[in-house]
Amino acid sequence: MRQKMITLCPTTYELASNMDNFSAWIRQELMKKQATQYKAKPESEERYQAFCNPCDLSYLDTDPDMLKGLPCKECGKKTFYLGLIE
């Protein structure tokens, strides 16, 4: 284990002082953050789909908000949002 100095305000210092194992808690929180970041990356690779029935055309995007209410490029009608592609 290595040590790292952290700066606390009077309130957080009090909270930290009342914890049995502040260092363990910090490590746990940091690992949680890392886990969240790791998880967030593959999610951004996921693709969503919208579909135009009359034209039989699919539209794909990594951002679902880009597809909700997207007009079809062929007929100009609103496409049907299908959601996440498995």
Task: Out of 6, 55, 84, 85, point to the residue binding Zn ion (CB under 5 A).
Answer: 55
Q: How far is CA 53 from CA 31, 36, 76, 78, in A?
A: 46, 37, 12, 10
Task: Out of 14, 46, 61, 74, point to the residue binding Zn ion (CB under 5 A).
Answer: 74
Q: Does 75 bind Zn ion (CB under 5 A)?
A: yes
Residue with the shortest CB distance to Zn ion? 72
Q: Does 72 bind Zn ion (CB under 5 A)?
A: yes
CB atoms within 10 A of CB 80: 13
Which among 47, 49, 50 has a CA at the least distance from the CA of 79?
A: 50
The residue ranges that bind Zn ion (CB under 5 A) are 52, 55, 72, 74-75
